[in-house]
């Protein structure tokens, strides 16, 4: 069976043809200084993310996924190319992009769960105090943590901390939710549950997500589109439409075949990737 792959630089998938991309990366290269030299982390990557996409950046360790996400967040400046959000060039971090990281220590430990969600809302003047309080209650309830609003991060499990980070990010009602391997440090059962909960939140709020992972199955389940990056430096190898995959068909022949093909693309085994090489 042939995968619905598009080659790098090819047109966007059919459902998006008439829409304007929310996020656009055009020929983005990023270099880091290393001694007297520069090391290229990503090379001329072009991508378009549509409103409501669950867009996954998938690649092996060191291929530049986090670097690309940091550049979208405005924390890293590309050496060439441009990144635009709703037509505006990204040059610095802003409250229109909320980030959830992998690390459990992303929540200030001296603030309660409620304060953790409230603080960025107030600091960014995203809304007034009353609305901020209402948003904090709403999103904490949505991630199942209403009863823990007065707890401190050290009193929570890893999964609960990630739920707070997600509530904090969603409460900002950002144009883009950026997630950098948010579930990678969780045990397998919790990880799966968190993926499920994230999809349920997306069903309700339809935010636009850019999600970094190195796990093929996670990419297929979470994403509706997947960009596959090759390593050293990271280049766009292929783009996959993964809308049809979910937990309900994770054992299917189609799912397994797609997993194998992606594996071939990631690790450049020509046979496995036959017919879908970029
Ligand atoms: N601050 C930095 N300074 C110098 N080099 C860096 C820096 N951050 C990342 N790099 C280099 O850039 C390349 C891409 O790193 P990056 O963390 O983006 O990859 P990744 O795909 O997210 O990897 P992983 O899945 O292991 O987190 C690597 O070679 C890394 O060593």
Per-residue model confidence as pLDDT tens digits over 92-101: 999 999 999 9
Which residue's CA is the nearest one to ligand 1's atom 7? 32
Return the higher-pLDDT residue of 16 and 30: 30
With CA atoms as reference, report the closest residue to 162 among 195, 207, 199, 205: 195
Atom of ligand 1 nearest to the CA of 70: 18
Please give the Cα distance from 95 to 90 (Å, whole number): 12
CA–centroid distance, residue 262 to ligand 1 (Å)? 21
Q: Is 59 in the pocket of ligand 1 (CB under 6 A)?
A: yes
CA–centroid distance, residue 233 to ligand 1 (Å)? 10
Please give the Cα distance from 130 to 60 (Å, whole number): 44
Res 252 pLDDT > 90: yes
Q: What is the pLDDT of residue 271?
A: 54
Which residue, chain included where needed, has tokens 């007034």?
128
Which residue's CA is the nearest one to ligand 1's atom 30? 62
What DSSP element (H or E) covers 118?
A: helix 113-123
Which residue's CA is the nearest one to ligand 1's atom 25? 61
Task: Tell me whether 0.90 is exceeded by the ipTM.
Answer: yes
Residues 6+ apart with CB under 8 A from 145: 113, 160, 163, 164, 167
CA–centroid distance, residue 176 to ligand 1 (Å)? 22
Res 104 pLDDT > 90: no
Output the six-digit token pair for 93: 């971090």
Q: What is the pLDDT of residue 275?
A: 47
Q: Is 37 in the pocket of ligand 1 (CB under 6 A)?
A: no
Which residue's CA is the nearest one to ligand 1's atom 1? 32
pTM for the whole structure: 0.89
Atom of ligand 1 nearest to the CA of 33: 4
Mean pLDDT along residues 15-25: 76
Which residue, chain included where needed, has tokens 């996959």?
240
Q: What is the pLDDT of residue 63?
A: 92
Per-residue model confidence as pLDDT tens digits over 138-173: 999 999 999 999 999 999 999 999 999 999 999 999
Kind of pairing between the strands at 80-85 and 23-34: antiparallel
Output the six-digit token pair for 202: 């997306």
CA–centroid distance, residue 228 to ligand 1 (Å)? 16
Per-residue model confidence as pLDDT tens digits over 23-57: 999 999 999 999 999 999 999 999 999 999 999 99
Can you give the residue ranges of every domain in the chain? 1-10+22-96+180-278, 100-173
CATH of domain 1-10+22-96+180-278: 3.40.50.300
Name the CA radius of gyration of the chain, rounded.
Answer: 19
Q: Is 67 in the pocket of ligand 1 (CB under 6 A)?
A: yes
Q: Is 63 in the pocket of ligand 1 (CB under 6 A)?
A: yes
Task: Kindly report the length of the chain.
Answer: 278
Mean pLDDT score across all residues of the chain: 90
Tell which one of 35, 56, 59, 62 to mutate to probe ligand 1, the residue whose CB is within 8 A of the most ligand atoms: 62
Q: Is 195 in the pocket of ligand 1 (CB under 6 A)?
A: no
Q: Is 205 in the pocket of ligand 1 (CB under 6 A)?
A: no
Q: Listing from the earlier edge strand, what are the strands of the sheet with 37-49?
A: 37-49, 23-34, 80-85, 88-89
In terms of phi and psi (left: phi > 0; alpha: psi -120 to 50; beta: otherwise), the region of 51 is beta
Res 217 pLDDT > 50: yes
H helices, E strands: number in the chain: 7, 11
With CA atoms as reference, report the closest residue to 219 among 200, 234, 201, 239: 239
CA–centroid distance, residue 17 to ligand 1 (Å)? 33
> What's the start-to-end Cα distance of the chain, in Å?
17
Percent of the chain with pLDDT over 90: 83
Atom of ligand 1 nearest to the CA of 67: 18
Q: What is the pLDDT of residue 197?
A: 94
């Amino acid at each position: 069976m042939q995968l619905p792959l598009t080659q790098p630089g090819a047109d966007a998938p059919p459902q998006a043809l008439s829409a304007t991309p929310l996020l656009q990366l055009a020929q983005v290269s990023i270099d880091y200084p290393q001694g007297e030299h520069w090391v290229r982390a990503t090379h001329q990557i072009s991508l378009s993310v549509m409103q409501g996409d669950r867009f996954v950046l998938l690649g092996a360790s060191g291929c530049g996924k986090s670097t690309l996400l940091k550049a979208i967040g405005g924390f890293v400046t590309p050496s060439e190319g441009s990144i635009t959000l709703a037509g505006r060039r990204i040059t610095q971090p802003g409250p229109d992009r909320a980030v959830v990281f992998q690390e459990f220590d992303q929540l200030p430990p001296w603030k309660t769960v409620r304060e953790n969600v409230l603080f960025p809302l107030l600091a960014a003047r995203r809304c007034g105090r009353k609305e901020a309080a209402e948003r904090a209650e709403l999103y904490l309830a949505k991630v199942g943590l209403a009863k823990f609003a007065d707890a401190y991060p050290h009193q929570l499990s890893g999964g609960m901390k990630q739920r707070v980070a997600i509530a904090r990010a969603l409460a900002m009602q950002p144009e883009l939710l950026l997630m950098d391997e948010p579930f990678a440090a969780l045990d397998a059962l919790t990880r799966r549950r968190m993926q499920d909960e994230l999809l349920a939140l997306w069903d309700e709020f339809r935010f636009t997500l850019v999600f970094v992972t190195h796990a093929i199955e996670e990419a297929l389940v979470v994403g509706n589109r997947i960009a596959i990056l090759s390593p050293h430096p990271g280049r766009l190898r292929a783009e996959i439409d993964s809308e049809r995959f979910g937990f309900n068909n994770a054992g299917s022949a189609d799912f397994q075949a797609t997993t194998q093909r992606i594996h071939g693309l990631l690790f450049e085994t020509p046979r496995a990737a036959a017919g879908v090489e970029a």
